[in-house]
A and B are shown apart, each in its own frame.
Chain A
Amino acid sequence: EAGVTQFPSHSVIEKGQTVTLRCDPISGHDNLYWYRRVMGKEIKFLLHFVKESKQDESGMPNNRFLAERTGGTYSTLKVQPAELEDSGVYFCASSQVDSYSYEQYFGPGTRLTVT
């Protein structure tokens, strides 16, 4: 069974540009999460989808970040316009919708560098 995949693995963009990150969750996992780790800090929650609906987006830093999950399968996270402080590693995770929904399986991450 394929795990969580993320694309691209690495992205380098200039301040003010737009970047779109993609996440494909494990097949059958309705829960999808986005997290990020900025330099020297812990991994922090961004938002949680249940199928195509946003369950919790309390961790989204500001309105430059837009997450979508049309059709309830893969998800995209767009940063527009990117700022220097957006640099970091963005992780996607997925889990089942049942009593084990807290067991999240992570993708390899996308390393975003904003110059």
Chain B
Amino acid sequence: TQLLEQSPQFLSIQEGENLTVYCNSSSVFSSLQWYRQEPGEGPVLLVTVVTGGEVKKLKRLTFQFGDARKDSSLHITAAQPGDTGLYLCAGAGCSANAGKSTFGDGTTLTVKP
């Protein structure tokens, strides 16, 4: 069973601060997705990283895939109240398990104005 551990589980910061969320596993993933989920809604895909060492930027969000494709991080610069939400990482397995995503347990971010 492939497990993904996210840290921290909860994060409360002031507007304008920077933060990093981590997603770690002992397993290798063919790709890793980051989602954001609002209450009462399903996860919304933010980004996919595929290549070891890959870095992707989405406005103030920077996503990195570890060189060994076992871990990832999400860095938010100058957080805003609108960034508040549940952030989930999910890894796609290799070959036969490619369609099956393994989710982390999420990081609940609160950005205070």
Contacts and interface: CB of A to CB of B under 8 A. Distances in A.
B33 A102 contact: yes
B102 A45 contact: yes
B77 to A, nearest CB: 25
B43 A48 contact: no
Q: Which of A35, A102, A103 counts the most B-chain CB atoms under 10 A from its CB?
A: A102
B41 A59 contact: no
B6 to A, nearest CB: 9
Contacts of B42: 4, 91, 93, 106-109
B83 interface: no
A43 B105 CA distance: 7
Given A42-B106, A45-B102, A104 B97 contact: no
Interface residues of B, number: 26
Given A43-B43, A91-B42, A109-B42, A104 B33 contact: yes
A75 interface: no
Nearest to B103: A43
B104 A42 contact: yes
B101 A45 contact: yes
Nearest to B104: A42
A105 interface: yes
11 contacts: A31-B99, A33-B100, A42-B104, A44-B103, A48-B99, A102-B30, A103-B45, A104-B45, A106-B43, A108-B41, A109-B41
